[in-house]
Structure 1
Amino acid sequence: MKYFFLFLVLVPAAEIGVLLYSGQTIGVWPTISLIILTGFLGAYLAKQQGLEIIRKTQEQLRRGMMPGDAILDGVSVLVGGTLLLTPGFITDIMGILLLAPPTRKFFKVLMMKAFRNWIDKGNIKVIR
């Protein structure tokens, strides 16, 4: 929980610094335009990737398979889309990394390790 609080303080502070630097470097209006563009791009990519994941999940359920991988993809797309809609360049970079299928694999491995760690510690109970 202490890392979450640190995250909530450091990320907005870093975003403000990067936005100020960007405004001084390329100008205020190009900076605002980039922020709006990445917001629209994030909404489009999240919708496109989300619909693809829903189709993949439905197909796996039809086959009687557990859609674990598709659920992790869905979490990545949800968080990535939200980060792209959040104004700022740091969150935009993280959002794009979570939405892009090649880089999403890295984050899925991290999520699986975190879930296994939580299960091993007893924070999450799996009922079968």
Structure 2
Amino acid sequence: MWLFALFVAVPILEIALFIQVGGWLGLWPTLAIVIATAALGTYLVRRQGLAELARIQGSLSNLSDPTRPLAHGAMILASGLLLLTPGFFTDALGFALLVPGVRDAIMGYVRKRIRVQSFTMGQPPHSADPQGDPRPLDPRDDVVEGEYVEMPRRDGPSGWTERR
């Protein structure tokens, strides 16, 4: 129910703000502000998004916890969506999400309400067989035996790519 109220309240608020700002500044300055905030927001989202992507890649390559960069990346994406939506209220929310301190505060608020039960990265060094005997992994266990037939070489496209 609260989501429905949000989808009704935000457009009404945006329309009211457009009327107020348009009456105060006029039509063309109001449209210029909307276009300028979308352009500036696109630039900032792209810049911060690429930086956060580098942090995600770094944390994954170092096998460190990627939670913070992933959460910040998701909030930057949400910021981009809000900034591309025309309106003053959504622009204010979008620009607020571009501030790392605001993102950290939101992440802290969400972290208090979410409990992670388990987290693993990669494959464990030992596996257990169905009888419960833990043994080191043997690379030969991945071998699949089979037979092959050498096909004669054809000039031209293969049967998969030729057009008929």
In 2: Cα distance, 1:32 partner to 1:112 partner:
39
In 1: Cα distance, 2:30 partner to 2:110 partner:
33
Q: Which has the higher relative contact order, 1 or 2, with Cα contacts under 8 A spaced 6 or more apart?
A: 1
Equivalent residues of 1:98, 1:107 under 8 A apart: no
Q: Structure 1: where are the runs of 5+ without partners?
A: none
Cα distance, 1:103 vs structure 2: 2.0
Alignment of 1:64-83 (within 5 A): 64-83=63-82
In 2: Cα distance, 1:90 partner to 1:66 partner:
34
- 1:91 — aligned with what? 90
Q: Could you say which structure has the higher helix fraction?
A: 1
Alignment of 1:85-124 (within 5 A): 85-114=84-113, 116=114
In 2: Cα distance, 1:58 partner to 1:20 partner:
44
- How many aligned residue pairs are there? 120
CA distances 1:32-75 after superposition (whole Å, capped 9, x unpaired): 00000011111111111110001001111111112000011011
- 1:7 — aligned with what? 6
After TM superposition, where is structure 1 displaced by more than 4 Å over at least 4 residues in a row? 125-128
Q: What residue identity is the alignment partner of 2:54?
A: R
Q: What residue identity is the alignment partner of 1:12?
A: P
Larger radius of gyration: 2
Equivalent residues of 1:83, 1:92 under 8 A apart: yes
Q: Structure 2: where are the runs of 5+ without partners?
A: 121-164
Q: What residue identity is the alignment partner of 2:66?
A: P
In 2: Cα distance, 1:76 partner to 1:70 partner:
10
TM-score, normalization: structure 1? 0.86
TM-align CA RMSD = 1.7
TM-score, normalization: structure 2? 0.68
Equivalent residues of 1:50, 1:74 under 8 A apart: yes
